[in-house]
Amino acid sequence: MWFNSDLTLHLSMWLLTLPAHLLDFLGLWKPLAMRLFPHLYAKVSLDNHTVMYSCKKELFSRLPDFAGPSGQLKVLEIGCGTGSNFPFYPRGAKVTCTDANPHFQEYLRKSQAENDHLHFEPNLLAPAENLSEVGDASVDVVVSTAVLCSVNSVEKALKEVLRILKPGGAYFFVEHVCADPLSWTYIFQKIYDPSWKCVFTGCNLCRETWKDLEKAPFSEMKLQHIRAPFPWRPTAPQITGYAIK
């Protein structure tokens, strides 16, 4: 009985996203999705910002602990998107924004103008796995939120994080992850994942990202599994915390 329901839901999801799958097969979907996704994400991020506000506020309250001897904090954010994290950064911080999608720039510039308590370096158009424009051991803090779900290689992205962090610097993260295999959420993640990846430019619902973090050679890590208050969303299981180089 459950198998039939599972199959029906899977087929329904596939049929609803059939145009995207067809365009993806023809090699036409990715350029279109790259243009459309920032507009969709701008709306979704407003809701996410409200729901995750207290979690992010508590997490990012630790950022000043990692400021350099001058007292100014140098932050690099991977996959800045619309810049929804900027309000949490301490006054006077020097921030470098990176994103692999050039179509976020309109939203990013608007958010930068609204957060004049920060000093912004030139934005970088670069994937998380290749931050070659950023020098070794040059930043105090790296931040990513809802980014590792869509990178091509979490391992390579974390290698870049470790390379650009100063000794004693920290990587702060809030990422949605794979649910407990015994949960209903996990079943729905498995059903939605193929279509979700296609529509949301490679976003993977079933990554066990905490395992990649645990394998990376950080000296210390504070990691917590939480369930974000997103009713019925397959992105509710999340990890939050920070890792020290």
pLDDT in tens, 162-178: 999 999 999 999 999 99
pLDDT in tens, 83-127: 999 999 999 999 999 999 998 898 999 999 999 999 999 999 999
The CA–CA distances, whole Å, from 224 to 117, 176, 177 equal 30, 12, 12
Q: What is the Cα–Cα distance from 127 to 98, expressed in whole angstroms?
A: 8
Phi and psi at residue 111, to the nearest 5°? -65, -35
Q: Which fold has domain 2-244?
A: Rossmann fold (3.40.50)
Q: What is the Cα–Cα distance from 136 to 108, expressed in whole angstroms?
A: 25
> Residue 56: CA atoms inside 13 Å, Cβ hemisphere, count?
19
Q: What is the Cα–Cα distance from 125 to 34, expressed in whole angstroms?
A: 13
Query: In terms of pLDDT, which residue wins out, 175 or 201?
Result: 175
Asked if 147 and 79 count as a contact pair (C-beta separation under 8 A), the reply is yes
Instruction: Name the percent of the chain lying above pLDDT 70.
Output: 84
Task: Give the model's confidence band at 33: pLDDT under 50 very low, under 70 low, under 90 confident, else very high.
Answer: low
Amino acid at position 15, single letter: L
- Residues paired with residue 240 on neighbouring β-strands, in sequence order: 174, 224
In the three-class reduction of DSSP (H, G, I as helix; E, B as strand; rest coil), residue 201 is classed as coil
**What's the distance, CA 194 to chain centroid?**
19
pLDDT in tens, 42-73: 777 666 777 889 999 999 999 999 998 889 99
In the three-class reduction of DSSP (H, G, I as helix; E, B as strand; rest coil), residue 10 is classed as helix
Query: In terms of pLDDT, which residue wins out, 41 or 23?
Result: 41
Angle in degrees, CA 158, 80, 207, rounded to 5: 45
Asked if 214 and 225 count as a contact pair (C-beta separation under 8 A), the reply is no
pLDDT of 29 higher than 70: no
- H helix runs in the chain, sequence order: 2-16, 18-25, 29-51, 53-60, 105-114, 154-164, 184-199, 209-215
Q: What is the Cα–Cα distance from 110 to 125, expressed in whole angstroms?
A: 17
Query: In terms of pLDDT, which residue wins out, 182 or 230?
Result: 182
pLDDT in tens, 134-155: 999 999 999 999 999 999 999 9
pLDDT in tens, 184-198: 999 889 888 888 887
Q: Enter the pTM of the model.
A: 0.87
